[in-house]
Amino acid sequence: MNTSEFLSLLKQHQEKSLLFEYANDKYVGANYHITEVKNITIDTVDCGSGTNYWKETVVQLWESPKEKGKKEFMSVYKALSILSKVDNIKPMVKDAEVKFEYSNADFHTAQLFVDDYNLDGKSLIMKLSVEKTDCKAKATCGVADKTGEVPEEVAACCDPDTGCC
C-alpha cells in the first residue's frame, strides 16, 4: 500500500479506532503512539552489480510503558491529524510504499508492510506482515528457480572468478 492509499483510507474512516495487527491475532497495544515518520530513500547496489532506487514512508509505532493498561485505541482521526501535521512540515512522498516500524518485548524490531486491512463496526485494522529478504539479482547470479535448475549460460557467468555475488 502506498502512502496516498493509506492516507485516503484514513480519511474515509475517521470515526473508527486504528489498530495494527503485526502478526496473526497479535496487535500493537492500545498504548501506542506514532513517534516518528520517516521519508526514506533507498539507493542500492545488489550482488549482481545492479542499481536500485526507491522511496518509502516509515511510520514508527511505540507502546508507552506509562499507559500499559490503556484500553482505548488511537482514533483514525487523531492518526490522520498527526500525519497531516508531519506532511506539512516534511511532505511525504505519496507514491512511496508505507511501512510501519514496531517492536515489543516478544517481537523484534521490524519494518512491516501493509498486507491488507479489515473494517468492523468500530475499527480500522491494518494487517501488517514481515517482508522476507530476497536476492534482486537472481537471473544475473544464477540463483536457481523453483525447479532448482540454473540455466547453463547463467551458471557459466557466475563462476566464482567472475565477481558476481
pLDDT tens digits, 57-79: 999 999 999 999 999 999 999 99
CB under 8 A, 24+ apart: contacts of 112-121: 112/22, 113/1, 114/1, 114/6, 117/9, 119/13, 119/16
Count up the domains in the chain and report the number: 2
Q: Are residues 164 and 84 in the same domain?
A: no
Mean pLDDT rounded to a whole number for the chain = 91
Q: What is the pLDDT of residue 101?
A: 98
Instruction: Work out the average pLDDT over 23-29.
Output: 97
Do 98 and 160 belong together in one domain? no
The answer to whether residues 75 and 148 belong to one domain is no
Segment 94-112 mean pLDDT: 97
Structural domain of residue 26, as residue ranges?
Answer: 3-132
Question: What average pLDDT does the segment 112-128 reach?
Answer: 97
- What's the confidence (pLDDT) of residue 143? 78
Do 42 and 111 lie in one domain? The reply is: yes
Would you state the pLDDT for residue 159?
A: 55
Indicate if 90 and 42 belong to the same structural domain.
Answer: yes
Same domain, 56 and 106: yes
Same domain for 42 and 122, yes or no, is: yes
Mean pLDDT of 92-110: 97
Q: Is the pLDDT of residue 127 over 80?
A: yes
Contact yes or no for 112/102 (Cβ under 8 A): yes
Beta bridge partners of 97: 2, 56
83 shares its domain with 144: no
Q: What is the pLDDT of residue 132?
A: 86
pTM: 0.85
Percent of the chain with pLDDT over 90: 79
What Å distances lie between residue 35 and 47, 83, 100, CA to CA? 34, 11, 11
Separation CA 50–CA 106 (nearest Å): 36
Q: Does the pLDDT of residue 146 top 80, yes or no?
A: no
My answer on whether 90 and 31 are in the same domain is yes
- Same domain, yes or no: 124 and 95: yes
Are 53 and 122 in a shared domain? Answer: yes
Q: Are residues 143 and 108 in the same domain?
A: no
